[in-house]
A and B are shown apart, each in its own frame.
Chain A
Amino acid sequence: MNATNAVSDNSSPEDSVIVRLQAVRKLYGDMVAVESLDLDIRRGEFFTLLGPSGSGKTTTLRMIAGFERPSGGHVELDGVDITDVPPFNRDINTVFQDYALFPHMSVAKNLAYGLEAKRLPRKDINQRVDDALRMVHLEDHAGHLPGQLSGGQQQRIALARAVVNQPRVLLLDEPLGALDLKLRQHMQVELKRIQQEIDTTFIYVTHDQEEALVMSDRIAVFNKGRIEQMGEAVELYERPASEFVANFLGTSNLIDLDGKRVMIRPEKIRLLVGTEARPADSWHEQAATVQQKVFLGPSIRYLVRLECGTELLALEQNVTGFSNASAIMRGSRVRVAWSRDSVYEIPDTNR
């Protein structure tokens, strides 16, 4: 109870913690899935647990949902310890990776399921089901069975079925994983819109770093059952706490420069040809040979080799189109240049 007071007294409402994990750990036999985890998730934020498979992110989500019991530690919702509260008594809803729509119930029945369990009046149930269907633009599909819907529509119904309960926290377990790229990108924007519209805390699990960058207010990068780094997207991208984070979020050049381990992002490296001058005198410049050139459409990726033998990736905007096509080719002698601000020294991760 003291903890509850401390939370509500010391923080402003928008900054207050809604989900708190305290020294939460999960073991499966001898296997450590999650190692003593401390995590505060703020009210109303879009929080992403990002990591490769087996990093413990889904297990963490399932402990918040109540499907897994922590082997140690506490889970708090709004300052109340819910570690031993079963899922059906938690004011939390989940969007499942396989959607888990009940195949024998109509879309409307699926949406009403949670509200009926709470014994809401029929009138309110119908109203909220209608609203939720409108929110995901599927109001014409109330009578369909889930099997009659496309993957994208099923995904939206799964989202609506969770949102319709107006939970305090919404959990999403790789909800877009089964969709194709175009639809996935569309749904990322859609999810963010809905999250802002209903002003609910979203906790999102994904292994897709781009997805995390698009939607999240804050991201926790998981590796081997631990949080490697936590913060806003720009922070993780520009100031990764470890080589793992630097590699997992985006592409990076990790090189030894003056005896230090540093990171330079490919898009921060400029390729200069002929007499072309570097953007500023303060920029570092070095001769290199183009090893490989890949046309990506909006950008062109080069692999260059410095004279010392180090290979670097460089990414240039495709601003010139055809006229650039022949300027730099495989084997071309170029100069690479970068601003000294772009060189970031990775902290020693052998803690």
Chain B
Amino acid sequence: MSHLAARLWRHRGISGSLLLTPPMGWFVFIYLPALVVLLITAFWTVNSFTGVIERDWSLDNFVYIFSSHTYRDIILRTIVMAAAVTITDVVLAFPVAYYCARMASARIRILLFLLMLLPLWSMFVGPMYAWRIILADQGILNGLITSVGLSPLSISYSNWAVWIVFSYMWLPFVVAPTYAALERIPESYLEASGDLGGRSWRTFRKVIMPLAVPGVIAGSIFCFSLTLGGYIVPSLLGGPGSDLLGNVIFANVGAANNLPFAAALGIVPVVVMAVYLFFARRLGAFDMM
């Protein structure tokens, strides 16, 4: 045993490869091939009479996606939804993360994290139905609104409902990295800013914000990509006019049985994410890693 430990100590490379083998194996042998198959499938078509996949190279799927109003709208709606949810979550997450990182006692911090992570621990579908009850026309939210004398909202089974529930679901994914970035800022930086005449706003703008940006962007990447691919929320809380890429792809795989078309649609979020990551990198989001 000690012999093995000594050998590992002498050859650091071996320890490194041992640690990396399982995830790398998964990545190389499962994830990448799946992606390649997706890419290839997207250039095939389905015979509309027989329902058989025809393995001839063609751009038909993409031409159809980008020439059809319906699909262009869905893509645009998905991107706008992902952006809206991301902005909402960043705005909501920052104060919470700041409070947890720099003001809360250890006990309060743990309690707040528990509350935030709770929706992720419960079965995913449970909270969805809770939100249906809350947002329904005769639901809890409208009950509260009418009780203070305002006219009720009609947001159930709409883009509003999808936006609210997505924002709720992905909030912890933005809070966690933002918290990590804020927690890493030494107290002495804030003291130095004050010492040099910087009031709270200046300290926030010039010291805290720039140092928190990498964390915020990391969180936004989670949030944006999760929304791009989310299909349960639009399926259960959306209605007419709130189809997103995720549930449309799901419908094409299942109901329509058009796998090549679903694959072509599936390429879209991959490309959008690549563009997003490119700009995040330009903003310096990965410099601090």
Interface residues of A (CB under 8 A from B): 65-67, 86-89, 92-94, 96-98, 100-104, 113-114, 117-118, 161-162, 165
B199 within 8 A of A: yes
A98–B197 contact, CB under 8 A? no
Q: Given contacts A65-B195, A113-B198, A114-B197, list 11 more A-B pairs with CB under 8 A.
A: A65-B191, A67-B195, A88-B194, A94-B195, A96-B191, A98-B186, A100-B192, A104-B210, A113-B196, A117-B199, A118-B197
| Inter-chain contacts of A89 with B (CB < 8 A) | 197
B195–A93 contact, CB under 8 A? yes
- Give the distance in Å from the alpha carbon of A100 to the alpha carbon of B191 in the complex: 9
B186–A100 contact, CB under 8 A? yes
| Inter-chain contacts of B198 with A (CB < 8 A) | 88, 113-114, 117
- Give the distance in Å from the alpha carbon of A100 to the alpha carbon of B193 in the complex: 9
Q: How far is the CB of A118 from chain B (nearest CB, A)?
A: 6
| Inter-chain contacts of A67 with B (CB < 8 A) | 191, 194-195
- Give the distance in Å from the alpha carbon of A73 to the alpha carbon of B186 in the complex: 29
A88–B191 contact, CB under 8 A? no
| Inter-chain contacts of B128 with A (CB < 8 A) | none
B211–A93 contact, CB under 8 A? no
What are 14 A-B pairs with beta-carbon distances under 8 A?
A65-B195, A67-B191, A86-B194, A88-B195, A88-B197, A94-B192, A97-B188, A101-B192, A102-B192, A104-B210, A113-B193, A114-B196, A117-B202, A165-B197
B-side interface mostly: helix
Q: How far is the CB of B130 from chain A (nearest CB, A)?
A: 42
Given A88-B199, A98-B186, decide whether A104 and B211 contact each other with a Cβ distance below 8 A. Answer: yes
Q: Which of B220-264 contact A (CB under 8 A)?
A: none
B206–A113 contact, CB under 8 A? yes
- Chain B CB count within 10 A is highest, among A89, A96, A100, for A100
Q: How far is the CB of A35 from chain B (nearest CB, A)?
A: 24
B112 within 8 A of A: no
A100–B197 contact, CB under 8 A? no
| Inter-chain contacts of B207 with A (CB < 8 A) | 102
B196–A165 contact, CB under 8 A? yes
| Inter-chain contacts of A94 with B (CB < 8 A) | 191-192, 195
B192–A96 contact, CB under 8 A? yes
B189 within 8 A of A: yes
| Inter-chain contacts of B195 with A (CB < 8 A) | 65-67, 87-88, 92-94, 162
Q: How far is the CB of B57 from chain A (nearest CB, A)?
A: 49
- Choose one: A86, A96, A161; the contact of B188 (CB below 8 Å): A96
| Inter-chain contacts of A93 with B (CB < 8 A) | 195-196
Q: How far is the CB of B252 from chain A (nearest CB, A)?
A: 46
| Inter-chain contacts of A103 with B (CB < 8 A) | 211
